[in-house]
Structure 1
Amino acid sequence: MPNKITHPLKALLSPWLTSTEFSSALISGMTLDSRHVKKGDLFVALQGALLDGRLFIEKAITAGACVVLSETKQADKHALISHQNDVMIIHFYQLSKILSELAYRFYFPEQDCHKVIAITGTNGKTTIASLLANSLTLLNQKSAQMGTIGNGLFGELSSSLNTTLDALSIFACLNDYQWQGAKYTLMEVSSHGLIQGRVSALPFHSAIFTNLSRDHLDYHGTMQAYADAKKILFDEFPIEQRIINLDDKIGATWLAEYSDAISYSAKGNKTPSHRYLAVSDVHYQAKGLTFEFNSSWGDGKISAPFYGDFNVANLAAVITQLLVDGFYITEIEKIIPLLDPVAGRMEQYNFSAKKTTFVVDYAHTPDALEKALVALKKHTKSGRLTCVFGCGGDRDKGKRPEMAKVAEAFADRVILVDDNPRTESASQIMNDILLGFKQPELVDCIHDRKEAIVKLLKQSQDNDLILVAGKGHEDYQIMGNLRIDYSDRVLLVSLQLLENQKANL
C-alpha cells in the first residue's frame, strides 16, 4: 500500500508566502503533469521551454487539483491569488527556482532523507550507481538507484526518459524508497539536472566524480561550461564526502581545491594530502579481471567478472565509497565477484557454434567508445574486433567525425548503423560520420541495426569480438517523431535461443 502524505498548504509555503486563505487547505500530492492529477493534489504550472503548464490548469482542476501554483515571470504578480471553479490559483514569481525545496518540504516534512549518493561525470555514472546499489544490497543495506537505466529499488527498476528526473519526481521517489526501507539511493546526477536546479535542495551524503569528456556541447556550448555545471555539485551542496577520480585531468584540478576530498585511481596514483585508494597489478582474463589496491583503509585483492580499464576505475570508485562508509575490506573482497553485469554496459552474448562474442555497450561519446574498444582489445587474444555504432540526430554534430576516428584507430572493422536519427536524415548523419575516416571505403553502412547484427553473426570467424555500441540498455529507436520498439540486447538473446534450438536438432 502506498505511503500516504497530507501536508497543510500553510506550512508548505511558509518560507515564501503567507495568506489567511491557506489555513484550511490540505495537500495530498504534487505534480507537474495534469494527466497525473488526483483529487487533493497541488498542481504546479511551470512556464517550461517547450510547454507552458498554465495552459493545463483547467484540465488539472477538472481532474481534482485542490490548489494550483502558477509560475509568473512578473515580480509584481507574485503572491496574487485568483480562483477558478472555487480552486485557489496562487501566482508565484520564478517558481521553478524553489521547486526542489518545495518538494523536499512536502515529502520529508518531519524526517531526514536516507543517504543519497550522487554520481556525476561524462562516463561511468550508470555502472558505478548500479554496482554500488548491488554491493550495498549484498552487504544487507537495502538500496535504490535513479538514473539512465531506470529508477527503483535495486533489481526492480522502472524505465526513465531522463538521467535526472524533475524535482517533484525525485523527492516522490526518494520518499517511496525510504518508506520501503532503503538505506541508500544511488543517483546519477546530470549536468542538465544541476543547471536546472532539479536537485538543489537535496542533502547529498556523498558525491562521486568520474571524468569529463566531450558530450552535451549542444546544450552547454563549451567544455568549460560543461565542467562548471558538474562542479556545482561539489561547490554548492553540503556534501559529507567528495570522492574524485585523480586520473582525470579535471578531477586532479578539483582535488587540489578540496582538502577534505578523497581520491581514487585505477593507475596507482595518489596524493599525500588526501585520503586515497590506488589500484595496482591489473590482470585481464577471458571472463573478467583481477587487481590489487592500497588505500587509507588498508590493502586488498579484487576479482571481478567485468571487462576493461574503465571498469577497474568504476570498481575503484565503488570500493572507495564502501570503505569511506565503514565497510571492511574482507567484506568487499567477498561481494565484488558476486556483482551482476549492468544492463547494456559491456554485456556479453556468447555464440559457441561460431566461437563469437557480441558485447553491447552504451558508449555514445568518442571517449566512451575508445575506452570500450581498448578494453576489448586487452581481453582478446585472437580474432577480429569489430565496432558497430552510429550517432544520434538532433544532438552534438561535432562528435560524429570524432567517433569515426576512434573506431578506425581501435577496431579491425567498422559497421555504421542508425542510432536515434530523430528528425535528422539518417543518411546525412552517416555522411557526417564518414568524414572522420581516413579510409571511408572500408566502412560498411547498414542503416538497420538488426540486419547488421544478423549479417555479422553469419560472417563471423573463430574468436571474433563484436562491439555493438550506442544503445546499451535502450529498448527503442527514435525515427522522426516515432519511438519504435527495438533492443540490441533482446535481438541477441533471440539469436542465442535460435542457435541453441539448431544445436539441439
Structure 2
Amino acid sequence: MYLIELLKDWPCTIKGKWRDVSVETVTEHPERITEKSLFFARKGAQFDGLDSVCRAIEMGAAAIIIDRTVSENKLAQWCARGATIVTVPDCKKFLSHCSAQLAGEPAKELTIVAVTGTNGKTTVTHFIGQLLTHFGVKVAVLGTTGCFINGEKVEEVTPQLTTLTAEYLHPLLRKCVDRGVTHIALEASSLGLEMDRLMHCRAAIGVYLNIGEDHFDEHGGKKSYIQAKKILTTLSETLLVNCEDVECMNLVKDAGVPIQLFGRNVANGFMPSEELVSMLPPGEHNRLNAMAAASVVNMLGFSERKIFEAFDVLTLPEGRMQRLPNLGREVYIDYAHTPDALLAVLQAMKSLNPRKLICLFGCGGNRDKQKRPLMGKIAEEICDVVVLTSDNPRSEDPAVIVEDIMRGVQNPSSILVEVDRKKAIHQAIVTSDPGDIILIAGKGHEKVQFVAGVELVMSDYEEALSALKQLETVQE
C-alpha cells in the first residue's frame, strides 16, 4: 500500500517526502526493518524507539512513525538524510491500523472469540478449539502456548506473548484465513488489551473468566488492571461472563452490549448431567472452564446436548495439570502462578486422595510481590510438604522472594527451601513415597528460566521426567 492510503482519515503531520512512498510491512523492532517498512519509534518499558531512528534510516525504512514532540533540529537532520517522519497521536493505535490494513483486514473474515481473565485463558481457548474441531469447524487457537489449527501446532516465528502485538497478529490471522480457518479462539491479556493489540480485532464473543491477583504492578494497581480488562467490552459484540465472579459482574454492568452468563453448574441456562461432567478433567476450575467453552460453542450455534455429550473430547493443554508417565510416583506440571490458580489446582490434586500432597513452587521476580505470602499460606494449609524454589526470579535475589513467600507461612521450619529449581524438582521427587502426588507449579509449558538477566534452558517436565527415571533406576 501507499503511505498516503494508510494515513487516510488519521490526524498527522508529515516531514519529508510522502508521495509514492510504498509500504509492505510495519515494525517496532529495529532488527525487522526492511526497505519498505514503517518503523514505529514507540517508547517501550525498556527501550525507546527514538534511539533507533538513525539505524532505521540507514536500513532504508519507508517512513518513521512517532507520537512525541521532537526538536525541529532533529527532525531536520533526519529529513536531510532522506527520511520521511510522520507524527500521529498514538503509535500503538496506528500500528494496529496499519498491520490490519496491510494484511487485508483478516479479522473481518473470521469469527473471533476473545477470552480474558487472570486464570484459565489457555485452557478455555483450547477447550473451545477442541469442541469446534469435534463439530467439523476449522478453528485456530492463539495464545500462551502458541498457534494451533484444529489441535495441530503451527510453527510461527512470533514473540512468546499471551496476546501477540498487532504487527505479528494480523499477518498470522491472514495465514489462518488462507488455510481455511473460519473461527479464532484467542487469549486477551490485560497488557494486550491496554496496549491496543486487539484494537482491530472485533470479537463476536468476549469472555470474562475471573479477576485475580496478577500483573497489578505492571498496570500500576488493581484498579488500572481492571480498567485494562474492561477494554474487551468495547471490542466485543456479545459478552459471556462468569456469574460467580463478583469483580467480573461489576466490570460489565454498564457494558452496553448483550451479556450471557455461565458458572460451574450452568452454561447459558443449561445444566449438564453429573455423568457428563464426570468426563471432565478433575477440579472445580476445570469444570468452570469447560462450562465457559460450552457456553461459547452454544452461542456459536451448536446445541447444548451435543456439546455436553462431547465433553469426553476435552483434554488439558500442555502444562495444565499435565501428568507425567507413572514411574512409581504421580507427578503433575501446572502453570498455576497466582493465588487463585494455586488454590484451584491444589484442591483438584487433593480430590485425588494422595497419601501425601507435595507442592513445589516459587514466585516471579520484579512484579506482584503482594501475592507471594498469599501463595505461601495456601500451600501450607493444603499440602503435606511444601518446597519453595525459584520461578523466573529475573533480577531479584531468589532468597528474598522466598522470604516474601514465607511471610504467609505459620510454621516456616516445616517448609523445604531449594532456590535451584532443577535441584528442587529432584529433591521433591526423590524424597517422596509411592502413593504421593507431587505438583510442580508455576511454569507449566515454559522451557526457559530467567535468572539475573540470563535466559536459561529449563523445562519442569523434562527435569521431573529425569528425576523419575533416576528414582526408578535406584529402586531397581
TM-score by length of 1: 0.85
In 1: Cα distance, 2:471 partner to 2:383 partner: 26
How far the C-alpha of 1:266 sits from its partner, in A, is 0.3
CA contact (8 A) 1:115 1:184 kept: yes
1:114-263 alignment runs, 5 A limit: 114-151=110-147, 153=149, 154-157=151-154, 158=156, 160-234=159-233, 236-237=234-235, 239-254=236-251, 256-257=253-254, 260-263=258-261
* 1:385 and 2:357 correspond: yes
* 1:362 and 2:328 correspond: no
CA contact (8 A) 2:130 2:313 kept: no
Partner of 1:35, secondary structure, is helix
Measured at CA, do residues 328 and 499 of structure 1 come closer, stay the same or move farther in structure 2, by a change above 3 Å?
farther
- Larger relative CO (CA 8 A, sep 6+): 1 or 2? 2
Per-residue CA distance 1:299-353 (angstroms, 9 max, x = gap):
xxx723x12110000000111111110123454345432333311111111424x
Measured at CA, do residues 265 and 464 of structure 1 come closer, stay the same or move farther in structure 2, by a change above 3 Å?
same
CA contact (8 A) 1:41 1:65 kept: yes
Show the counterpart of 2:397: 425
Q: Which runs of 5+ in 2 are unaligned?
A: none
CA contact (8 A) 2:429 2:464 kept: no
In 2: Cα distance, 1:182 partner to 1:317 partner: 22
Partner of 2:181, secondary structure, is coil
Q: Which amino acid aligns with 2:288?
A: A
In 1: Cα distance, 2:252 partner to 2:265 partner: 16
CA contact (8 A) 1:209 1:243 kept: yes
Per-residue CA distance 1:58-89 (angstroms, 9 max, x = gap):
32233342222233236999x99963543423
* 1:451 and 2:423 correspond: yes
Show the counterpart of 1:490: 462
Measured at CA, do residues 324 and 209 of structure 1 come closer, stay the same or move farther in structure 2, by a change above 3 Å?
same
In 2: Cα distance, 1:44 partner to 1:55 partner: 11
How far the C-alpha of 1:476 sits from its partner, in A, is 0.8
Partner of 2:61, secondary structure, is coil
Show the counterpart of 1:315: 290
Q: 1:464 aligns with which of 432, 436, 441?
A: 436
CA contact (8 A) 2:105 2:170 kept: no
Q: Which amino acid aligns with 2:426?
A: V
CA contact (8 A) 1:66 1:88 kept: yes
Measured at CA, do residues 35 and 152 of structure 1 come closer, stay the same or move farther in structure 2, by a change above 3 Å?
farther
In 1: Cα distance, 2:106 partner to 2:404 partner: 55
Measured at CA, do residues 368 and 434 of structure 1 come closer, stay the same or move farther in structure 2, by a change above 3 Å?
same
CA contact (8 A) 2:336 2:444 kept: yes
Show the counterpart of 1:9: 3
How far the C-alpha of 1:176 sits from its partner, in A, is 2.2
Per-residue CA distance 1:13-57 (angstroms, 9 max, x = gap):
111258895342221111111201233222222233422212222
In 1: Cα distance, 2:420 partner to 2:77 partner: 55
Q: 1:90 aligns with which of 78, 86, 102?
A: 86
Show the counterpart of 1:348: 323
Q: Which amino acid aligns with 1:142?
A: K
Measured at CA, do residues 182 and 110 of structure 1 come closer, stay the same or move farther in structure 2, by a change above 3 Å?
closer
CA contact (8 A) 2:119 2:209 kept: yes
CA contact (8 A) 1:116 1:205 kept: yes
In 1: Cα distance, 2:141 partner to 2:457 partner: 24
CA contact (8 A) 1:104 1:171 kept: yes
In 2: Cα distance, 1:18 partner to 1:73 partner: 11
In 1: Cα distance, 2:472 partner to 2:181 partner: 40
In 1: Cα distance, 2:271 partner to 2:217 partner: 35
Partner of 1:14, secondary structure, is coil
Output the aligned Cα RMSD: 2.9
In 1: Cα distance, 2:419 partner to 2:45 partner: 33
CA contact (8 A) 1:35 1:60 kept: no
Partner of 1:240, secondary structure, is strand
Per-residue CA distance 1:84-136 (angstroms, 9 max, x = gap):
54342323343334332232222225982412211101100111112222332
Structure ranking higher in strand proportion: 1
Q: Which runs of 5+ in 1 are unaligned?
A: 1-6, 284-289, 292-301
Q: How many residues are treated as equivalent by the alignment?
A: 469
Show the counterpart of 1:264: 262
In 2: Cα distance, 1:97 partner to 1:255 partner: 24
How far the C-alpha of 1:482 sits from its partner, in A, is 0.2
Partner of 1:72, secondary structure, is coil
Measured at CA, do residues 225 and 276 of structure 1 come closer, stay the same or move farther in structure 2, by a change above 3 Å?
farther
How far the C-alpha of 1:278 sits from its partner, in A, is 4.3
Show the counterpart of 1:112: 108
**Percent of counterpart pairs with the same letter?**
29
Moved more, 400-409 or 95-104: 95-104
Moved more, 317-326 or 427-436: 427-436
CA contact (8 A) 2:26 2:38 kept: yes
CA contact (8 A) 2:34 2:61 kept: yes
Show the counterpart of 1:297: none
In 2: Cα distance, 1:406 partner to 1:109 partner: 46
CA contact (8 A) 2:429 2:438 kept: no
Measured at CA, do residues 231 and 322 of structure 1 come closer, stay the same or move farther in structure 2, by a change above 3 Å?
same
CA contact (8 A) 2:425 2:467 kept: no
Q: Which amino acid aligns with 1:436?
A: G
